[in-house]
Structure 1
Amino acid sequence: MNQDQEPEATRRGASDTESSRASRGWWDRNADEYQSEHGAFLGDDRFVWGPEGLDEADAALLGPAAELKGRRILEIGAGAAQCSRWLAAQGARPVALDLSHRQLQHALRIADGAATEAAGGTDLVEADAGALPFRDGSFDLACSAYGALPFVADPVRVLREVRRVLRPGGRFVFSVTHPIRWAFPDEPGPEGLSVAASYFDRTPYVEQDGTGRAVYVEHHRTLGDRVRDVVAGGFRLVDLVEPEWPEWNAQEWGGWSPLRGHLIPGTAIFVCVAE
Structure 2
Amino acid sequence: MSDYRTLNRASWDERAPAHAASKDYRVSAFADDPAHLSDVVRFDLPRLGDLRGLRGVHLQCHIGTDTLSLARLGATMTGLDFSPASLAEARRIAALAGTPVEYVESDVYQAADKLDRGGFDLVYTGIGALCWLPDIRRWARVVADLLRPGGRLFLREGHPMLWAIPDEPRPDGVLAVELPYFEQTEPTIWTEGGTYVETDTEFVHNTTHEWNHGLGEVVTALIDAGLTVTGLTEHTTAPWNALPGRMSQVADGEWQLTDRPQRLPHTYTLQAVRGSV
Give the TM interval when normalised to the shorter protein.
0.7 to 0.9
Return the match for 1:25 from 10, 15, 23.
10
Q: 1:15-54 counterparts in 2 under 5 A?
A: 18-37=3-22, 38-40=24-26, 44=30, 46-49=37-40
Deviations 1:3-57 (A, max 9, x none): xxxxxxxxxxx57xx22222211110111223334313996452444xxx86233
Give 1:231 shift.
1.6
Contact 2:130 2:157 in 1 (8 A): yes
Which sections of structure 1, spanning at least 5 residues, go unmatched? 1-13
What is the CA distance between 1:199 and its match in structure 2?
3.8
C-alpha separation between the residues in 2 aligned to 1:149 and 1:271? 15
Question: Is 1:23–1:216's contact at 8 Å kept on the other side of the alignment?
Answer: yes
Kindly indicate whether the alpha-carbon contact (under 8 Å) linking 1:184 and 1:192 is maintained by their aligned counterparts in 2.
no
User: Quick check: 1:48–1:145 contact (8 Å CA) kept in 2?
Assistant: no
Farther off after superposition, 32-41 or 72-81: 32-41
Which SS does the other structure have where 1:167 is aligned? strand
**Corresponding residue for 2:257?**
260
Check if 1:105 corresponds to 2:88.
yes
| Unpaired runs of at least 5, structure 2 | 31-35, 193-204, 249-255
Query: Of 136, 153, 173, which aligns to 1:155?
Result: 136
The residue aligned with 1:135 is 116
Q: Retained in 2: the 8 A contact 1:129–1:148?
A: no
Residues 19 and 153 in structure 1, CA contact (< 8 A), matched pair in contact too: no
Give the number of aligned pairs: 242
Contact 1:68 1:91 in 2 (8 A): yes
Structure 2: distance between partners of 1:194 and 1:181? 10
- Cα RMSD after superposing both structures: 3.1
Amino acid at match of 2:107: D
Q: Which of 207, 226, 231 is matched with 2:223 structurally? A: 231
- Could you say what secondary structure the match of 1:236 adopts? strand
CA distance in 1, matches of 2:243, 2:83: 21
For 2:56, the aligned partner's letter is: I
Q: Is the contact between residue 136 and residue 217 of structure 2 (CA under 8 Å) also seen in structure 1?
A: no
TM-score norm. by structure 1 comes to: 0.76
The 3 A distance-change label for structure 1 pair 241 and 48 is farther
Q: Is the 8 A contact 2:129 2:157 kept in 1?
A: no
Shift of 1:113: 1.8
- C-alpha separation between the residues in 2 aligned to 1:92 and 1:54? 15
Q: Which has the higher contact order (CA 8 A, sep 6+)?
A: 1
| Cα distance per residue 1:138-167 (max 9 Å; x no partner) | 111110102542211112212211211211
Is the CA contact (8 Å cut-off) linking 1:76 and 1:97 kept in structure 2? yes
Secondary structure of the residue that 1:130 maps to in structure 2? helix
Secondary structure, in 3 states, of the residue corresponding to 2:21? helix
Normalised TM-score (structure 2): 0.75
Query: Aligned pair in 2 of structure 1 residues 181, 90: CA closer, same or farther (>3 Å)?
Result: closer
